Amino acid sequence: MARIVMKFGGTSMAGTERIRRVAGIVKRQQEAGHEVAVVVSAMAGETDRLVNFCREANALYDPAEYDVVVASGEQVTSGLLALTLQALGCKARSWLGWQVPINTDDAHAKARIEDIDAEALIASMASGEIAVIPGFQGVSPAGRVTTLGRGGSDTSAVAVAAAVKADRCDIYTDVDGVYTTDPRIVAKAKKLPLVTYEEMLELASVGSKVLQTRSVSLAMKEKVRIQVLSSFIDENAPAADTLPGTMIVSDEELEGSDMERQLITGIAADKNEAKVTLTRIADRPGAVASIFGPLAEANINVDMIIQNIAKDKGETDVTFTVPQADLVRAQALLEERKDAIGYFRMIAEGNVAKISVVGVGMRSHAGVASTMFRALADRGINIQAISTSEIKVSVLIDADETELAVRVLHTAYELDAAA
320 marked as binding residue = no
Q: What is the sign, positive or negative, of the torsion defined by CA atoms of 217, 218, 223, 227?
A: negative
Strand partners, 45: none
With CB cut-offs between 5 and 8 Å by kind, which of ligand ASP, ligand ADP, Mg ion, none does residue 343 bind?
A: none
Per CB under 6 A, the list member of 18, 108, 150, 329 interacting with ligand ASP is 150
Nearer to Mg ion, 129 or 182 (CB): 182
Per CB under 6 A, the list member of 4, 5, 6, 10 interacting with ligand ASP is 10
Strand partners, 44: none
Site for Mg ion in 187-226 (CB under 5 A): none
Per CB under 6 A, the list member of 147, 205, 208, 394 interacting with ligand ADP is 208
DSSP assignment letter at 233: -
47 marked as binding residue = yes
Report the alpha-carbon distance of residue 43 to residue 77 in Å, rounded. 7
Per CB under 6 A, the list member of 97, 134, 135, 266 interacting with ligand ASP is 135
With CB cut-offs between 5 and 8 Å by kind, which of Mg ion, ligand ASP, ligand ADP, none does residue 21 bind?
A: none
Nearer to ligand ASP, 135 or 266 (CB): 135
Nearer to ligand ADP, 174 or 416 (CB): 174
**Helices (H), ranges, 129-271:** 153-163, 197-205, 213-222, 251-256
Coil, strand or helix at 401: helix
136 marked as binding residue = no
Helix (H) or strand (E) holding 291: helix 287-297
Q: Closest Cα partner for 93 from 131, 56, 57? A: 131
Q: Closest Cα partner for 11 from 129, 123, 153? A: 153
270 marked as binding residue = no
Helix (H) or strand (E) holding 27: helix 16-31
With CB cut-offs between 5 and 8 Å by kind, which of Mg ion, ligand ASP, ligand ADP, none does residue 135 bind?
A: ligand ASP
Report the alpha-carbon distance of residue 198 to residue 219 in Å, rounded. 11
77 marked as binding residue = no
- First CA to last CA distance, the chain: 41
Centroid of chain to Cα 112: 14
The answer to whether 239 and 213 are in contact (CB under 8 A) is no
Strand partners, 278: 318, 346
Asked if 210 is part of the footprint of ligand ADP (rule: CB under 6 A), the reply reads yes
Q: Which residue is nearest to ligand ADP (CB)?
A: 9
Report the alpha-carbon distance of residue 249 to residue 236 in Å, rounded. 28
With CB cut-offs between 5 and 8 Å by kind, which of ligand ADP, Mg ion, ligand ASP, none does residue 150 bind?
A: ligand ASP
3-state helix, strand and coil shares in percent for the chain, rounded to the nearest 5: 35, 25, 35
165 marked as binding residue = no
Please, what is the angle between helix 46-57 and helix 72-87, to 10°? 150
Asked if 359 is part of the footprint of ligand ADP (rule: CB under 6 A), the reply reads no
What would you report as the CA-atom Rg of the chain, rounded to the nearest whole angstrom?
A: 23
74 marked as binding residue = yes
Nearer to ligand ADP, 343 or 413 (CB): 413
List phi, psi (to 5°) of 124. Answer: -65, -45
Per CB under 6 A, the list member of 75, 77, 94, 173 interacting with ligand ADP is 173
In the shown chain, the binding pattern of residues 136 to 165 toward Mg ion, with x for contact by CB under 5 A and - for none, equals: ---------------x--------------
Q: Closest Cα partner for 151 from 38, 270, 15, 10? A: 10
213 marked as binding residue = no
Asked if 210 is part of the footprint of ligand ASP (rule: CB under 6 A), the reply reads no
242 marked as binding residue = no
CB of 15 to ligand ADP, least distance (A): 14
Asked if 208 is part of the footprint of ligand ASP (rule: CB under 6 A), the reply reads no
Strand partners, 98: none
Per CB under 6 A, the list member of 153, 181, 215, 231 interacting with ligand ASP is 153
Asked if 75 is part of the footprint of ligand ASP (rule: CB under 6 A), the reply reads no
Residues that bind ligand ADP (CB under 6 A): 9-12, 41, 151, 173-175, 178-179, 181-184, 208-210, 266
* Known binding residues: 7-10, 47, 74, 173-174, 179, 184, 209-210
Please state the residue numbers annotated as binding site for ATP.
7-10, 173-174, 179, 184, 209-210
Binding site for Mg ion (CB under 5 A): 9, 151
Summarize as ranges the residues that interact with ligand ASP (CB under 6 A): 9-10, 41-42, 47, 73, 135-136, 150-154
Binding residues for substrate: 47, 74
